[in-house]
């Protein structure tokens, strides 16, 4: 269950950002999780509650945005979303593609801190490499 270590990293990164902003607590942590990240959202939510206890993130909640899989199709010269993880073929022309453009993400995208302010994580100098999202292998065409 690698979700426990991922939850710990989320608490560490979000807690550090909250301290940098001078916040005493965090109310919401916003995440973007790709369908190929290897993360089970239910297990992550459970693990997060455990590791956030007795920290400035205690009682906060995770809001998870599900990021669908998208591949690039060379013949179509376009990026297409896929309906699932079992068929890596262009939904338009049926060409196989292992050129994955979205779906592996594990990003903290924002925080709501104790004063009600929201922080967009894209505007922050932060390193989320510690989150440890599994890199799904390329699916051969």
User: Rounded to an integer, what distance in angstroms lies between the CA atom of residue 100 and that of residue 34?
Assistant: 11
DSSP 139: P
Q: Specify the DSSP element, H or E, that contains 107.
A: strand 106-113
Does the annotation flag 93 for ligand binding? yes
Helices 3-20 and 41-52 meet at what angle, rounded to 10? 50
Does the annotation flag 126 for ligand binding? no
Q: Exposed, middle or buried: residue 126 (CB in 10 Å: 0-12, 13-18, 19+)?
A: middle
Does the annotation flag 73 for ligand binding? yes
- Enumerate the known binding-site residues for Zn(2+): 73, 76, 90, 93
- Enumerate the known binding-site residues for Ni(2+): 2
- Enumerate the known binding-site residues: 2, 73, 76, 90, 93
């Amino acid at each position: 269950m690698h979700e426990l270590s991922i939850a710990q990293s989320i608490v560490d990164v979000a807690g550090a950002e909250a301290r940098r902003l001078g916040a005493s607590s965090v109310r919401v942590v916003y995440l973007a999780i790709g369908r190929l990240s290897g993360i089970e959202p239910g297990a992550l939510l459970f693990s997060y509650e455990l590791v956030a206890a007795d920290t400035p993130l205690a009682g906060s909640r995770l809001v998870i945005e599900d990021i669908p899989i998208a591949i690039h199709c060379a013949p179509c010269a376009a990026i297409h979303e896929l309906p699932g993880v079992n068929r890596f073929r262009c939904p338009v022309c049926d060409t196989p593609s292992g050129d994955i453009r979205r779906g592996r993400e594990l990003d903290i995208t924002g925080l709501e801190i104790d004063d009600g302010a929201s922080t967009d994580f894209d505007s922050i100098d932060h390193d989320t490499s510690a989150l440890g999202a599994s890199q799904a292998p390329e699916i051969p065409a």
